[in-house]
Every structure is written in structure tokens, then in C-alpha cells.
Structure 1
Amino acid sequence: MAARPLNATAASLLGFLHEGPKTGWDLVATAQDRIGKFWSVTTSQVYRELAAMEAAGLIEAGEKGPRDRKPYTVTDDGRRAFAHWITREPGPENIRYPLLLTVAFGGHLPPERLAEMLATHRAAHERQLAEYEHAAALDGADPYFASTLEFGLIYERAVLDWFDRVGDRLTGPNPQDDPAGPGGRPQ
């Protein structure tokens, strides 16, 4: 077992290595493709975790191949560490949505600028929903992928519904400009 508990990035990499040897480059591409829509993993994180996991004996590096890329394989200790990680309670989610942070302080923006931001983000969510719908049409029989894809579909539809509900309210006259202050309360 690893000396330190696995973090989610390291555990994800071990999970991908259960499928067979992969180079750091392969792991970055796999992570971006398979979990990138709901879990961010950077190239620097991948290589940092690979070095730490190799030092901890959780993975082994193979012989260098083309472009000096080394394939990594998971060791028995790595399999045990992953098995321990996957059975733990995942913990609560933490929403980090930059647009919501901007909206929280939206009273300090001209309404037309906030409207531009909302339109840009709405369009991005419409594109993402279309991508998910396309992937759902191509989906094979993997129930785990299908379940995460279903979450993505529901999420994107919910976000688009939110845009429909708040758009006019957020882009109308700025309540901060009202002499009575936000919510009509005298300041």
C-alpha cells in the first residue's frame, strides 16, 4: 500500500493502467477523453503523479519507446492501493463554476456585459449537450460510461433550463443602480 493515501488524480491513472500499459502521453489523452468533462487532470499533474507512484512502487516504467516515451504498468501494490481507494466514500462534491461566481457579483457589471457572458456560456452548454447526445447515440454497452454520460445529459439540460429561468432577471435593469439598493431596501 502507498505511504500516502491516493489522491483522485493518481487513482484515476491507476484505474486507466488496469486496462494495460500506457505512456504518460496516453494517460493524458485517456483522462481528457474519458473523465475530462467532469474531472480536470492537467499534463503536469499526470507526470508528477507518475513520478510519485513509480517512487512508491505503485507502477513500473517499461523500456523507452519512440520519442523517449515510457509505458507504465500497474504493480500489485498499485492494484491494492487502487482497490482501497475505489472502495472509500467519495466525499461531497464541490461546485467550482466560474460563471456562477461572476453572477454572484453581477450587480457590479453593466447588464449588457452580463448578457454577453450568459449568451456565450449558454452557447457552450448547447454545444456540450449536442456532443453528449451524439455520444449517447453511439454508446455501446458499458453501463459505467452510460451512467456518467446520462449525468452529463441531465446536467446540461438543467444548466440550459437555469439560463432560461434567470436570463431576463439578470440582464434587465441593474438593481444596484436603484437608489433604494438591491432588493428595494434603502441603503
Structure 2
Amino acid sequence: MSLRHALLGLLSERPASGYDLLKRFETSLANVWPATQSQMYTELSKLAASGLISVSAEGPRGRKEYTLTDEGLAELRSWLTETKPQRNTRSDLLLRVFFLGVLPPERARGYLDELADMSEQEYEDLRRLEQSIDWGDDTLSVHGRIALEYGLRFNAMRREWARWAAGRIHEPGGSGAAADGAGTE
């Protein structure tokens, strides 16, 4: 995904100013694709220059409202149907797990406990976000809730996995939990 396609997707719902897009971005896409205000305004300029969006209204202090063009909608549809999603092959989190054996077992378990706590916090943050949004039946709300549910389930799974993994780390030479083959705690 790119910021380009995120903005095209938001504009597919309705015209919006850069400020409006920033606010909608913060309550929807920022959890899956973070971007700064300057990145968004730079991308809006590029989209307008390439004809994928147009300025449909101008207001005080240079405020511009952008509208998706037919070419922009075609680009968004092409990206959705013809471009394969990139598989995230790098995970700093899991790379560390591979090397936890160089730490004393209590520190390795501590890392996994922190990961479980972080996942719990992210889960709770998403729950609060879910409750703070006035969900509608428009397509962005419907699909936004579907994406939010992915985040909830992912964080719940990662929390459970981290707790399970912490239970697998044992003292060298001890029988420990790793030898028992249990699936979950």
C-alpha cells in the first residue's frame, strides 16, 4: 500500500480538504499506514498534478477541497485488483525471538511478557477507538470495521502467543515447560 492509494481510497467516499483527510486518516488508516501531515499534503499535490484528483473548491486561507477524478478511481481499482499485496517479510519482533537464547531465561521471558503487555495495550486502544467512532453504513465504515477487527484479533493472538512462548522458556538443564509439549497456558 502507499499513501497515494490510501488518499485515493478516502476520497472515493467523498470530497475532502487536506485537513479533513488528515482527521479521517488519524481515526482510520493511521493504525495500518502511518503518515505525517507534510507527507499527506505533498502526496495530495502529486495526485493533483497527475490528474488523479482535482481541486473542487477553494476556501479561505488557501483551503482546498479535493475530489477523486475518473482517472483516480481507475488507479484505485487497478491497485486493488491488479497489484499483489506485498508480504511483510521483515519482523524486528520475531527476529529478536530467534535470538532470545543469548539472554538469561528470565530476561527472555521478560521480553515476551512485555510483548504480551504491548499487545494487550494495543488491543485496548483499538477497543477505545472502535467505541469512539460514530459508525455508519457507508463503505468506509463497513470496511474500516472489518480492518479494525483484524487489528483486534491480531493483537489478541499475539498476546496469547507471547504468553504461551514465555511459558516455553525454561532454565537450562531443567525440565521446564518447553518439554511438556502443551499448546497453551
TM-score after normalising by structure 2: 0.71
d(CA) in 2 for partners of 1:84 and 1:64? 32
Structural RMSD (CA): 3.0
Note closer, same or farther for the CA distance 1:80–1:114 as it changes in structure 2 (3 Å cut): same
Give the equivalent residue in structure 2 for 1:79. Answer: 73
d(CA) in 1 for partners of 2:144 and 2:66? 24
d(CA) in 2 for partners of 1:157 and 1:128? 9
Give the equivalent residue in structure 2 for 1:106. Answer: 100
5+ residue gaps, structure 2, are 174-185
SS class of match (1:18): helix
Is the counterpart of residue 25 in structure 1 residue 19 in structure 2?
A: yes
Q: Aligned partner of 2:18: which letter?
A: G
**TM-aligned CA deviation for residue 33 of structure 1:** 1.8
SS class of match (1:29): helix
Is the counterpart of residue 65 in structure 1 residue 60 in structure 2?
A: yes
Is the counterpart of residue 93 in structure 1 residue 87 in structure 2?
A: yes
Q: Aligned partner of 1:63: which letter?
A: E
Note closer, same or farther for the CA distance 1:95–1:125 as it changes in structure 2 (3 Å cut): farther
Task: Give 1:120's match in structure 2, choosing from 73, 91, 114.
Answer: 114
**TM-aligned CA deviation for residue 162 of structure 1:** 0.6
Identity %: 31
Note closer, same or farther for the CA distance 1:43–1:110 as it changes in structure 2 (3 Å cut): farther
Check conservation: 1:60, 1:72, Cα contact below 8 A: yes
Give the equivalent residue in structure 2 for 1:148. Answer: 147
Give the equivalent residue in structure 1 for 2:166. Answer: 167
SS class of match (2:85): coil
d(CA) in 2 for partners of 1:75 and 1:51? 14
Which portions of structure 1, spanning 4 or more consecutive aligned residues, are displaced by more than 6 angstroms?
none
Q: Aligned partner of 1:11: which letter?
A: H
TM-score after normalising by structure 1: 0.70
Q: Matched residue pairs, number?
A: 167
